[in-house]
Amino acid sequence: MKRKNKFAALTLTASLMLSGVVMMPADFSGPATAEAAKPGNPAAFDKKVTARIDERRIYEDVRRLSVDIGPRVAGTEEERVAAGMIRERLQSYGYEIDVQEFAIPDTMVGHLSTSGGEEVTVSIPSGSASTPPDGLTAPLYDAGLGYPEDFTEAAAGKIALIQRGEIGFRDKIDHAAAAGASAVLIYDNSEQSGPPNMSIGTDAPIPVAGIKKVSGEALLEDIAATGGSVTLKVDALSGRTSQNIIAKRTPKKGTNHEIVYVSAHFDSVPLAPGANDNASGTATALEIARVLKSYPIDKEVRFVFVGAEEIGLLGSEHYVSTLSGQELSRSLTNFNMDMVGTGWENATAIYLNTVDGLPNLSTESAMAAGERIGTPSELVLYKRGSSDHVSFHEAGIPAVNFIRREPGTAALEPYYHSPEDTIDHISIGRLKEAGDLVGSAVYSVIRSN
Ligand SMILES: [Zn+2]
């Protein structure tokens, strides 16, 4: 298959401009990666990785995380079980393990049922008020799009059912509260696989829940029109914690080695099995840890598995905040993987996202490794945050995130953050590609021979 390396051309141009030295493309022997200074044939060392990266193992771990465990929302038992699985595995590979537990903010959880006994799936935005512990039972009030004029006196004490669109969520909520509604249900205006994830700001005056378009329409027809009621329960989960699992290996000789980080988050958004986001990156990092567990190295390697990414990169932020000044000064680079296994046919490119859009040791070693091993997918250097590489970058550590996107548009798979992010949409071949590419790149930086 054909593979374009946009980055090689870009770097060549840049180095020509900077140095004024004329280089022929054939002389572009790759960047100043650590590997460039190392003896031996890099391709032979790649083989030590690619011959052993076993995509069936990766796929099996994606299945454990996304099917056996399922959605792994920060602070839940499922996230904790996933962390336990990762810790046990890394221990079995002989790594020194560190478990970090850290507090996360309260999150809201909810439950909605009709007087007819039907359950409706809801999403509760952070910032929603709570209901009494037994819930709030009231008739529904059809409040259209939630403009002030959509409310009459009849709204008082009822649960306002409002369609998404035209005005902001918070405006709808404030209008409902001003009319005396006891709570708000906002239903989507397009058909999605899950209820909407809404941003409503802080301290909403009444409880708020999001529901799917189909649920809203059914409630309008079956409940609002017939005078039935619904019961909404919204609770804050407080005092919760998430955790990071860190596996470390240091070279046999010497001390104070440079540190290379390989990271992935294992939590997911609510209702999403998180097969691609991010069981794929987690499982691939686990496999790289297995393959690299005993090869001689001249740098310290840390596999950093983080929780609570989906609620604001909290795990990785916590991790870098625990690094001492001495560790930070030894920190060389970070390879992060987030969403590397989608089978979505348009996602034919692996994007190498850096926060500043510039190449660094991680992107350069990955580009060089991809060139050597013949990674089939196009590799695209791109400026983008939105994953744990941001935390490393902000701590002053050069970092990259590997993620599958559609070339040109940079679109993500349509299953992103939805209940459809399932193992059915995972490509075993692309898991292998990610493992080979990132594994070879990491090894090229840390190997000692
Ligand atoms: Zn993710």
Q: What is the CA(439)–ligand 1 centre distance, in A?
A: 20
Q: What is the CA(442)–ligand 1 centre distance, in A?
A: 21
Give the CA distances from residue 355 to residues 15, 335, 385, in Å, rounded to whole numbers and listed in that order: 21, 13, 5
Q: What is the CA(433)–ligand 1 centre distance, in A?
A: 18
What's the rounded Cα separation, in Å, for the pair 347 and 164?
30
Classify the C-alpha dihedral 318-319-320-323 as positive or negative.
positive
Q: What is the CA(367)–ligand 1 centre distance, in A?
A: 22
The 8-class DSSP code of residue 98 comes to E
The predicted-structure confidence for 415-427, as pLDDT tens digits, reads as follows 999 999 999 999 9
The predicted-structure confidence for 350-406, as pLDDT tens digits, reads as follows 999 999 999 999 999 999 999 999 999 999 999 999 999 999 999 999 999 999 999
Q: What is the CA(405)–ligand 1 centre distance, in A?
A: 13
Model pLDDT, residue 197: 87
Place 223 in a pLDDT band, splitting at 50, 70 and 90. Answer: confident
C-alpha dihedral, 225 to 231 to 234 to 235, nearest 10°: 180
3-state secondary structure (DSSP) of residue 102: strand
Q: What is the CA(265)–ligand 1 centre distance, in A?
A: 7
Q: What is the CA(411)–ligand 1 centre distance, in A?
A: 14
CB atoms within 5 A of ion ligand 1 belong to 277-278, 338
Model pLDDT, residue 107: 81
Q: What is the CA(313)–ligand 1 centre distance, in A?
A: 9
Q: What is the CA(248)–ligand 1 centre distance, in A?
A: 23
Q: What is the CA(388)–ligand 1 centre distance, in A?
A: 8
The runs of H, that is alpha helices, within 260-305 are 281-291
3-state secondary structure (DSSP) of residue 327: helix
- Widest CA span in the chain: 81
Model pLDDT, residue 36: 55
3-state secondary structure (DSSP) of residue 209: strand
Q: What is the CA(201)–ligand 1 centre distance, in A?
A: 23
Q: What is the CA(191)–ligand 1 centre distance, in A?
A: 23
What's the rounded Cα separation, in Å, for the pair 299 and 95?
15
Q: What is the CA(173)–ligand 1 centre distance, in A?
A: 29
Model pLDDT, residue 32: 47
Model pLDDT, residue 224: 80
Q: What is the CA(374)–ligand 1 centre distance, in A?
A: 26
How many other C-beta atoms are found inside a 10 Å radius of the C-beta of residue 397? 22
Q: Is pLDDT of 28 > 80?
A: no
- Across the chain, mean pLDDT equals 91
What's the rounded Cα separation, in Å, for the pair 128 and 183?
10
Q: Is pLDDT of 31 > 50?
A: no
Q: What is the CA(232)–ligand 1 centre distance, in A?
A: 30
**Quick one: 128 exposed, middle or buried, by C-beta within 10 A (0-12, 13-18, 19+)?**
buried
Q: Is pLDDT of 11 > 80?
A: no
What's the rounded Cα separation, in Å, for the pair 284 and 60?
11
Q: Is pLDDT of 13 > 70?
A: no
Instruction: Identify the CA nearest to 321 among candidates 306, 336, 335, 311.
Output: 306
Q: What is the CA(338)–ligand 1 centre distance, in A?
A: 5
Q: What is the pTM of this model?
A: 0.80
Q: What is the CA(254)–ligand 1 centre distance, in A?
A: 36
Q: Is the peptide bond before 278 cis (omega within 30 degrees of 0)?
A: yes
What's the rounded Cα separation, in Å, for the pair 251 and 242?
30
Q: What is the CA(280)–ligand 1 centre distance, in A?
A: 10
Task: Answer yes or no: are the C-beta atoms of 230 and 187 closer than 8 Å.
Answer: no
Give the CA distances from residue 82 to residues 1, 61, 70, 201, 305, in Å, rounded to whole numbers and listed in that order: 36, 10, 9, 31, 10
Percent of the chain clearing pLDDT 70 (strictly above): 92
The predicted-structure confidence for 162-212, as pLDDT tens digits, reads as follows 999 999 999 999 999 999 999 999 999 999 888 998 999 989 999 999 999
The 8-class DSSP code of residue 27 comes to G
